[in-house]
Amino acid sequence: MPSKKRKKRGGERRVIHPRNKYSENPPDFGLLASLYPSFEPYVFYSLDGRPRIDWTDFNATRELTRVLLLHDYGLNWWIPDGQLCPTVPNRSNYIHWIEDLLASDLIPCTRGNSVVKGFDIGTGANCIYPLLGASLLGWTFVGSDVTDVAIEWANRNVKSNPHLSELIEIRRVDTETKIFDAEELQNKQKDNINSYVDSTNTVSVDMGPSPSFSLRSQSVKNSYHGPPVLVGVVKDGESFDFCMCNPPFFVTMEEAGLNPKTSCGGTPEEMVCLGGEEAFITRIIEDSAQLKHAFRWYTSMVGRKSNLNILTSKLWNVGVTVVKTTEFVQGQTSRWGLAWSFMPPSKKMLFSHVTEKKNLSFMLEVY
């Protein structure tokens, strides 16, 4: 699939997913202000005559998200003050990347023609991924979370869209459950399978035995000690086409607040966890090594490129069959998508994929 490329000031290339609604037409704040009186007070005109909003004003970014979801996706949506406010073009891009992964047949579909079933780890009060995936593509979702406010508002957002309510289940994670110990997991890890890695920039094939399982090398201090993530939340016998996650990226709220140019809200429960995203995604990896074929694709957003490399190494060590990465560019910020599977890759697709691998990678310029 062709990627759309744009020239940014300074010559840097920016790419938005070609199926993203905003690929050809970025949101028109002037038009939205004329159509939605509640948005109008947040729009002002700069000297060059272009309509703008104050990105440091949480109320402005929340109202923009509300009107975009209504105008472009027919969704009714709201979140309480201070909860993490999603940027719609960026979140849509992750959905389209997963759509490409599922369509690529790199990992053949084993669930027949049944409707696509996704699992959103940490769906948040905003419930953005299930709402976008269900409304755009008719996917079904389980959206999990741990906080009362997230569960309450995710449910409200689903109920506000009755046409989607059959498609989305909000699942509360049992925060009392004993945390699964990584050493136990190590004992359970028996498979030594041949692995392939196909990432944005490199493709390598390892036909030898998998390296020993060594997630324990992460210091205990920095390991995840929170509530269950997938193991203990996914029910016996359940299977999914994919999971996705926008994890708590940060170790502290100070780190989370480092971008003074935008105000997207975000409470400590949403933004922070002990060990940050590396620990949280490591837990997803550990859980995936147990659940294996319960998911066709496991995916997560990654906030730091250095963590992408660390996590990719961890994936090798648990015997995944495929790793794919991509980059999402949002304004001045980059995020990465990381995807892996334990299912056997289609060999035909594997080799044809080598030449086409960049087609699953794109960057997003937000708004």
Specify binding-site residues for S-adenosyl-L-methionine: 91, 122, 145, 246
Give the shortest CB-124-to-ligand SAM separation in angstroms.
3
Say if strands 140-145 and 117-121 run parallel, antiparallel, or are unpaired: parallel
Nearer to ligand SAM, 211 or 226 (CB): 226
**Do residues 32 and 39 make contact, with C-beta atoms less than 8 angstroms apart?**
yes
Query: Which has the closest alpha carbon to 270: 148, 131, 89?
Result: 148
The single residue listed with the structure tokens 């269950």 is 228
CB of 6 to ligand SAM, least distance (A): 24
Q: What is the x/- site pattern for ligand SAM, positions 40-79, by CB under 6 A?
A: ----------------------------------------
Annotated binding site: 91, 122, 145, 246
Q: H or E element: which one contains 280?
A: helix 276-291
According to CB under 6 A, which residues from 154 to 173 bind ligand SAM? 173
Q: Does 87 bind ligand SAM (CB under 6 A)?
A: no
Find out whether 284 and 230 touch, Cβ atoms under 8 Å.
Answer: yes
Q: Which range of residues in 64-72, 124-132, 329-337, 346-354 is near ligand SAM by CB under 6 A?
A: 124-132
The site for ligand SAM, by CB under 6 A, has a size of 22
Task: For residue 90, state whether it binds ligand SAM (rule: CB under 6 A).
Answer: no
Quick one: CA dihedral 242, 224, 229, 85, positive or negative? Answer: negative
> Distance (Å, rounded) from C-alpha 48 to C-alpha 277?
40
Q: Specify whether the CB–CB gap between 261 and 55 falls below 8 A.
A: yes
Binding mask 232-271 for ligand SAM (x = CB under 6 A): --------------x-x--------------------xx-
CB of 154 to ligand SAM, least distance (A): 9
**Paired residues of 93 in beta bridges:** none
Residue whose Cβ sits closest to ligand SAM: 122
List 63, 75, 86, 353, residue binding ligand SAM (CB under 6 A):
86
Return the closest-CA partner of residue 363 out of 65, 92, 13: 13
User: What is the distance between the alpha carbons of residues 83 and 150, in angstroms, rounded to a whole number?
Assistant: 9
CB atoms within 10 A of CB 224: 24
- DSSP letter for each residue of 220-243: GGGS--SS-SSBTTBPTT--EEEE
Residue 195, strand partner residues: 206
CA distance 67 to 61: 10
Q: How far is the CB of 284 from ligand SAM (least distance, A)?
A: 10
Sole binder of ligand SAM in the list 136, 146, 179, 310 (CB under 6 A):
146
Applying CB under 6 A, does 95 fall inside the site for ligand SAM? no
The reply to whether 179 sits near ligand SAM by the rule CB under 6 A is no
Residue nearer to ligand SAM on the CB measure, 63 or 269: 269
Answer yes or no whether residue 275 interacts with ligand SAM by CB under 6 A.
no
Interacting residues with ligand SAM (CB under 6 A): 84, 86, 121-124, 126, 128-129, 144-147, 150, 173, 226-227, 229, 246, 248, 269-270
